[in-house]
Chains A and B, each alone.
Chain A
Amino acid sequence: MTEIWRGFIKAIELIVSLDAEVLEIAGRTLRISLTSTLLASIICIPLGSLIHFRNFFGKRMLINIIQTLFSIPTVIVGLFVFVLFSRAGVLGDLGLMFTPTTMVIAQVILISPILIGLTISAFSAIDKAIVDTAISLGANGFQTALVVLRESRYAILSAVIMGFGRAISELGAAMMVGGNIRGFTRIITTAISLETAKGQLELSIALGMILLSLALVINIILNRLQQR
């Protein structure tokens, strides 16, 4: 119990004193997770709408697979990206292994199923009559998709929040493909893992609290957007 308390004090100390290393780690964590969430949103929301609006063979199966991938273990994504980008891998020549770029790629892969899946459910919740209404007022295919997107904006934003939550909180992939290199690929979760192993529980707890606070701030901002 005293450790948690001391960790709490330490966290406040670290934040108030603007500890350079903590700030740097927190900043990188945010940068990587926000980048991956943004990229995944740009890719997955249109992809989700495409899947929703098109009818093709195996659609139901595809959606089942996407939903199953919601719970893909982070280490499996890490392993997959590792195999791709390691020196002997298909994309090994790019020399991207153990860089923030690979971490972003891993996170994008990790949260894509959530974003696609929840986008599809968000669209499914929109009444078919909304689509008919848009078409009946002279909307073309793209304009109709925009109407549906606008009508489901709150549910879509929830999907983005979910994706961001999974990205910022994951450890396995970041550790495997980032390597926890100090000052380069170290993020909050990998730092906690390392500090705990070293027995530095107070620092770990402090970092944990900072991570949760960051998530809280981001969620508050997104919720504000949602309520508008």
Chain B
Amino acid sequence: MSFIQVVGLNHSYGERIILEDINLKIHEGSTFALIGPTGAGKTTLLRLIGLLEKLGSGKIYYNGTDVTKSNDLRLKVRRRIAFVLQKPQVFNLSVYDNVACGLRWRGVKKGKIDEKVHHILEMVGLESYKKKNARTLSGGEAQRVALARAMVVEPEVLLLDEPTANLDPNTAAKVEQLISYVVEQNHTTIIMSTHDMSQGQQLADRIGVIINGKIVQVGDAKQIFRLPEHKEVANFVGMQNMIGGRVCQNSKGVAVVDIGNSLIETVSDSPVGQEVYVGIRPEDITIALSNHKSSARNCFFGKVSQVTSQGPVSQVEVDCGFLLVALVTNLSLEDLDLRIGKEVYASFKATRVHLIKRR
């Protein structure tokens, strides 16, 4: 049995259903990321797993024991978990006292507390702040206090709700490093929520996508980002090209999809007649001025209809009778002189096309 198992969990606030039929298995020492849009129910699910709230129905098992029933058991299990809330609230005490709280509540001896607090403060780089009142710290520092405060109790399970949501990129990177370090050092099981897909990709062994209170797909990063099973997941993970069509031919694993005015070839075992969405990630589409060099099976002629800059890359929309969105580096954008109205070839490999069943 998995270390943490959630079975048939439902939860609602009054009339509003927040979570519906959640089933999860999380292995010991692994990092699990919940990703999904804001308001999907990530925080609520973490709060329920962290035993901060009583759940509507269903069961949560830690090490095979159902922990949803007795209050004594809940406290005991809660003390093996640490939860870092999204907006860290520090107590109106010194940094040292903030970090020492969890240990004191667990009845740890004074000398031991001193040793552990110093060690962890050094680790998060706040050793020189220990006498400062935590309320006077900046957002990033407060977040590190919150992390230190949670990690100092050496929890078996660390729950992180959007650990870097309110931080600037540099501070966020430091926090991410810290999290990876903890996993390696203590073999801690981590469940985190994030709406930052790259963070999920970097830190997590497995990812669960939660949309509208339901877990729609669980898998490793590659499965989620390359092979989404639902249109919503594809949409959320940035598979911007989603074209409706129907499989009209399939021979030896190469399927041809009729999308109305064109045919797209793909590697798939979908049967003929299957209604599908054709999904292509924008970074998998190549834009060229001629179609000679391309070895890609799918190559379409069209006109650039829009160019949007996104920092180091630009998003180029090509109208090929249907719309294709491609990502192009700014260098190629200049080389190819891509402007609205420019005639181009958009091509992509059959192996880069992902079919999602329409239901």
Q: Is the CB of B106 within 8 A of A138?
A: yes
CB neighbours (8 Å) of A135 from chain B are 52, 78
Interface 0/1 of B55-90, CB less than 8 Å to A? 000000000000000000001001101111101110
CB neighbours (8 Å) of A127 from chain B are 89
Q: Chain A's nearest CB lies how many Å from the CB of B89? A: 4
Q: A137 with B85: in contact, given A130-B91, A132-B52 (CB under 8 Å)?
A: no
Q: Is the CB of B89 within 8 A of A129?
A: yes
Interface 0/1 of A121-143, CB less than 8 Å to B? 00000010110111111111001
* Measured CA separation A134–B88 after assembly (Å): 11
Which one of A130, A136, A140, A151 contacts B82 once the chains associate, using CB atoms below 8 Å?
A136
Q: Is the CB of A133 within 8 A of B79?
A: no
Q: Dominant SS at the A interface?
A: helix
Q: Chain A's nearest CB lies how many Å from the CB of B114? A: 18
- Cross-chain pair count, CB within 8 angstroms: 57
* Measured CA separation A56–B293 after assembly (Å): 76
Give the total of B residues in contact with A, Cβ under 8 Å.
26
Q: Chain A: interface residue count, which band?
A: 10 to 19
CB neighbours (8 Å) of B91 from chain A are 130, 133, 147, 150-151
* Measured CA separation A137–B151 after assembly (Å): 10
CB neighbours (8 Å) of A143 from chain B are 105
Within 8 A of B (CB), among A148-191: 150-151
| A154 nearest in chain B by CB position | B92
Within 8 A of B (CB), among A93-140: 127, 129-130, 132-140
Q: Is the CB of A137 within 8 A of B149?
A: yes
Within 8 A of A (CB), among B102-118: 102, 105-106
* Measured CA separation A134–B82 after assembly (Å): 10
| B47 nearest in chain A by CB position | A132
CB neighbours (8 Å) of A138 from chain B are 75, 78-79, 81-82, 102, 105-106, 153
Which one of B78, B87, B106 contacts A129 once the chains associate, using CB atoms below 8 Å?
B87
Interface membership of B150, Cβ < 8 A: yes
* Measured CA separation A136–B102 after assembly (Å): 9
Q: Is the CB of B89 within 8 A of A133?
A: yes
CB neighbours (8 Å) of B88 from chain A are 133
CB neighbours (8 Å) of A136 from chain B are 50, 52, 78, 81-85, 150, 159
* Measured CA separation A130–B134 after assembly (Å): 13
| B76 nearest in chain A by CB position | A138
* Measured CA separation A138–B102 after assembly (Å): 6
| B90 nearest in chain A by CB position | A133
Interface 0/1 of A21-49, CB less than 8 Å to B? 00000000000000000000000000000
Q: Chain A's nearest CB lies how many Å from the CB of B268? A: 46
* Measured CA separation A143–B153 after assembly (Å): 16
Interface membership of B24, Cβ < 8 A: no
Q: A137 with B150: in contact, given A132-B52, A143-B105 (CB under 8 Å)?
A: yes
Interface membership of B323, Cβ < 8 A: no
Q: A129 with B101: in contact, given A137-B150, A150-B91 (CB under 8 Å)?
A: no
Q: Is the CB of A137 within 8 A of B89?
A: no
Q: Chain B's nearest CB lies how many Å from the CB of A131? A: 9
* Measured CA separation A140–B88 after assembly (Å): 20
| B97 nearest in chain A by CB position | A150
Which one of B75, B85, B159 contacts A133 once the chains associate, using CB atoms below 8 Å?
B85
Q: Is the CB of B105 within 8 A of A137?
A: yes
Q: Chain B's nearest CB lies how many Å from the CB of A136? A: 4
Q: Chain B's nearest CB lies how many Å from the CB of A205? A: 44
| B51 nearest in chain A by CB position | A135
* Measured CA separation A136–B77 after assembly (Å): 11
* Measured CA separation A137–B90 after assembly (Å): 12
Which one of B75, B93, B101 contacts A137 once the chains associate, using CB atoms below 8 Å?
B101
Q: A129 with B85: in contact, given A136-B50, A136-B52, A137-B149 (CB under 8 Å)?
A: yes
Q: Chain B's nearest CB lies how many Å from the CB of A225? A: 15
| A127 nearest in chain B by CB position | B89
* Measured CA separation A129–B91 after assembly (Å): 10
* Measured CA separation A127–B91 after assembly (Å): 11
CB neighbours (8 Å) of B52 from chain A are 132, 135-136
CB neighbours (8 Å) of A130 from chain B are 89, 91
* Measured CA separation A130–B90 after assembly (Å): 8
* Measured CA separation A151–B91 after assembly (Å): 7
Q: Is the CB of A137 within 8 A of B102?
A: yes
Q: Chain B's nearest CB lies how many Å from the CB of A178? A: 41
Interface 0/1 of B162-197, CB less than 8 Å to A? 000000000000000000000000000000000000
List, sorted by A's number, 20 A–B pairs whose CB atoms are closer than 8 Å: A132-B85, A132-B89, A133-B85, A133-B88, A133-B91, A135-B78, A136-B52, A136-B85, A136-B159, A137-B83, A137-B149, A137-B153, A138-B75, A138-B82, A138-B102, A138-B106, A139-B101, A140-B105, A147-B101, A150-B92
11 additional A-B residue pairs with CB within 8 Å, beyond A137-B101, A137-B102: A129-B87, A132-B52, A134-B101, A136-B82, A137-B105, A137-B153, A138-B105, A138-B153, A147-B101, A150-B92, A150-B93
Which residues of A come within 8 Å of B, CB atoms? 127, 129-130, 132-140, 143, 147, 150-151
Closest 7 CB pairs of A and B: A136-B83, A138-B79, A137-B102, A129-B89, A133-B89, A139-B105, A143-B105
